[in-house]
Amino acid sequence: MTSDRRPPQGQDPENLEAASPFELRVDRGRNVPESEVRTALATGDLGFIHSFTTGSMLDGPGVRIVAWLAGCQFRCLYCHNPDTWNMTNGTPVTIQRAKEQLKKYRAGLRVMKGGLTISGGEPLMQHKFVVKLFTAAKSMGVHTALDTNGSLGARLTGEDLNQVDLVLLDIKSWNPERHQKVVGASIDPVLDFARRLAAARKPMWLRYVLVPSLTDDFDDIAHIAEFCAGLGNVSRVDVLPFHQMGGFKWKQLGIAYELENVEPPTRETVDKACQIFREHGLKAY
Ligand code: SF4
């Protein structure tokens, strides 16, 4: 997520492709009746999608399409997409339409050794839709990656996991109190999911957001590095420097934003965090 482009005016509600991952999108599914939302969640025949972007080289191997799903149960203090928190901010899209969209790109994705990444929000809020779309992608020969905070990993069966080639797992903090403070939820289900992925030998990349004065405790990072190195399935670590590109969304949504005056971490701090992961034998970028 490197673009700092701002949302265009006069958005077309049918246009799912975002000019940047930082487009503000709200209320696109507000007219869907509650009963249909429940049916959608139970069947996976309808998904609520914030947007999709093409040509990403940051969200898994190769060049990728990323589908950003709406809905998240975390409330990370540093979230740069708070408009993805509510599912009904997303555009309702049938699984059939999503498959047809993917089909248009499959040949290119294979040539570019990329694939489909489903992110959010938290994609496993809509796990049935995710599994259906990944199953379709696999049948097209498209690589699949799930970008998740991991807390709802127990929703996936073993068979569901077979449709996922790679998991990009966020671990937000090691310290349980700090984790609770940063995201408003417990770390335990996240670590349980990581252990399950390791037991299943499912390839995993770790993503760690580095926020000055919040998640830049080097002891905390060392514990995460030790944990991930011990799993045996973590092939890459991405240290993601905090930025303010989504800060405007908090203001526009009227949500109190505690990190308004926080600067991005220095290059030295990012390098030090990467170094800690490398000292534990992990490839960190
Ligand atoms: S898990 Fe991701 S989408 Fe959800 S609040 Fe945290 S940063 Fe935002």
Q: Write the pLDDT tens digit of every residue in 182-207.
A: 999 999 999 999 999 999 999 999 99
List, for the chain, all residue ranges whose pLDDT scores fall below the cut of 50: 1-13
Q: What is the model's pTM?
A: 0.93
Give the per-residue pLDDT at 16. 75
- What are the C-alpha distances in Å from 84 to residues 75, 152, 203, 222? 11, 16, 26, 31
148 lines ligand 1 (CB under 6 A): no
47 strand-pairing partners:
93
Distance 237 CA to ligand 1 centre (A): 18
CB 84 less than 6 A from any atom of ligand 1 = yes
CA nearest neighbour of 142 among 97, 93, 105, 101: 105
d(CA 78, CA 172): 10
61 C-beta closer than 6 A to ligand 1:
no
How many whole angstroms from 43 Cα to the centroid of ligand 1? 24
- The pLDDT, as a whole number, for residue 20 is 63
Give CA separation, 54 vs 16, 40, 59, 62, 103, in Å. 11, 25, 11, 12, 13
Q: Given this model, what pLDDT does residue 5 score?
A: 31
The structure tokens listed for 175 are 């310290």
User: Does the Cβ of 76 fall within 6 Å of ligand 1?
Assistant: yes
Determine whether the shortest distance from the Cβ of 201 to ligand 1 is under 6 A: no
Is residue 120 lining ligand 1, measured as CB closer than 6 Å?
yes
Sign of the Cα pseudo-torsion (111, 108, 91, 251, in order) = positive
First to last CA, the chain: 14
Whole-number pLDDT of residue 202: 98
Per-residue model confidence (pLDDT) at position 21:
57
Give the amino acid at 71: G
